[in-house]
């Protein structure tokens, strides 16, 4: 699709108010290893959606399928489709997907350690070279810590500040959709609270839709109004966060709570096992 046609399509509101639609996709690595099995997810305009699940469930693979990064791991979408603003993108290179406005923040706080904080942020603006100084001030507005540390090497700031830096770097690209992969990983509770409050502000004030992958289920269900639960490469459940919080399987397997609301003891875990109904 040419540049003018793509810009024209951007002005059309996507069906069902969804900016992103993943339609029954399968993903294989090395052409044979089936990792995602018929995954369907929607992200609304201006919304936050959480993708929950244990390690190895396929959450990060889903984000890489959206952002075009599967190719670097010899993976590909072998069935189904991914639509962004009404256009199919799953066969596009990662650079083109980023240029269209999907920005992924990979887990692990990937800063450029030998650049300053401000240089890291400026690098994020290379896709949108005009107005970089204005966007830099916008990032500092949301992350005042980064302004205080803007002249420090990014490799020497704290883990929480590095997470702020990579989110700020993504903001410099003016994302139309942000993919966040495990932003709470390895951070202290107070920093997690601060970062997630800023994420909610970015969604609310800048109207940036967010697909959030997070193992901290309690936190994710507080931040995202809607969530999908993934196991073994499949979506096994999806609903509003309020309903998921009350679901007995979610409470048991992901929140560690009994049916009466108490946290499980070791004895409970050892002697009582509810079979997951979606695996029955």
223 has pLDDT over 50? yes
pLDDT for the residue 5: 47
Write the CA distances from 156 to 112, 148, 161, 183, 188, integer angstroms: 11, 14, 10, 19, 17
Please name every residue paired with 235 in a beta bridge, in sequence order, or none if there are none.
Answer: 230
pLDDT at 278 (0 to 100): 55
pLDDT value of position 253:
84
Residue 3 φ then ψ, to 5°:
-60, -45
Task: Give the pLDDT confidence of 39-66 residue by residue, as tens digits.
Answer: 999 999 989 999 999 889 999 999 999 9
Q: What is the mean pLDDT of residues 163-187?
A: 95
pLDDT for 276 equals 61
Q: Are 50 and 214 in contact (CB under 8 A)?
A: yes
Q: Residue 207 above 90 pLDDT? A: yes
> How does residue 257 score in pLDDT terms, banded at 50, 70 and 90?
low
CATH top-level class for 1-101+210-244? alpha beta
**Does residue 185 carry a pLDDT above 70?**
yes
3-state secondary structure of 133: helix
For the four alpha carbons of 157, 162, 164 and 167, in that order, the dihedral sign comes to: positive
For residues 142 and 145, give the distance between their C-alpha atoms in angstroms, rounded to a whole number: 9
Is-contact 220 230, C-beta < 8 A? no
pLDDT tier for residue 109 given thresholds of 50, 70 and 90: confident
pLDDT given for residue 269 in this prediction: 44
**Confidence at residue 150, expressed as pLDDT on a 0 to 100 scale:** 96
Q: Is the pLDDT of residue 273 over 60?
A: no
Q: What share of the chain is helix, strand, coil (3-state, %, to 5)?
A: 40, 25, 35
* Residue 14 DSSP one-character state: P
The residue extents of the domains of the chain are 1-101+210-244, 247-280
pLDDT higher than 90, residue 6: no
- Give the pLDDT of residue 17: 84
Q: Percentage of the chain with pLDDT > 70? A: 86
Nearest of 33, 165, 69 to residue 110 by alpha carbon: 165
């Amino acid at each position: 699709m040419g540049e003018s046609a793509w810009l024209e399509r951007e002005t059309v509101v996507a069906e069902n108010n969804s900016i992103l639609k993943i339609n029954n996709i399968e993903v294989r690595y090395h052409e044979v290893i089936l990792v995602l099995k018929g995954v369907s997810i929607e992200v609304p305009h201006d919304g936050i959606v959480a993708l929950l699940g244990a390690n190895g469930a396929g959450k990060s693979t889903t984000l890489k399928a959206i952002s075009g990064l599967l190719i670097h791991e010899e993976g590909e979408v072998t069935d189904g489709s991914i639509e962004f603003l009404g256009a199919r993108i799953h066969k596009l290179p990662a650079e083109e997907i980023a240029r269209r406005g999907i920005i992924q923040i990979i887990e692990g706080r990937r800063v450029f350690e030998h650049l300053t904080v401000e240089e890291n942020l400026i690098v994020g603006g290379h896709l949108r070279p005009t107005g970089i100084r204005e966007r830099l001030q916008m990032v500092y507005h949301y992350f005042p810590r980064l302004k205080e540390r803007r002249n420090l090497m990014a490799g020497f700031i704290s883990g929480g500040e590095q997470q702020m830096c990579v989110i700020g770097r993504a903001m410099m690209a003016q994302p139309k959709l942000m993919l966040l992969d495990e932003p709470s990983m390895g951070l202290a509770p107070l920093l997690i609270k601060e970062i997630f409050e800023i994420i909610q502000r970015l969604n609310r004030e800048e109207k940036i839709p967010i697909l959030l992958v997070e193992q901290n289920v309690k936190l994710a269900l507080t931040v995202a109004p809607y969530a999908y639960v993934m196991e073994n490469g499949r979506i096994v459940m999806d609903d509003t966060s309020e309903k998921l919080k009350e679901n007995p399987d979610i409470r048991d397997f992901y929140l560690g709570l009994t049916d009466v609301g108490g946290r499980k003891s070791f004895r409970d875990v050892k002697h009582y096992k509810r079979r997951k109904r979606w695996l029955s």
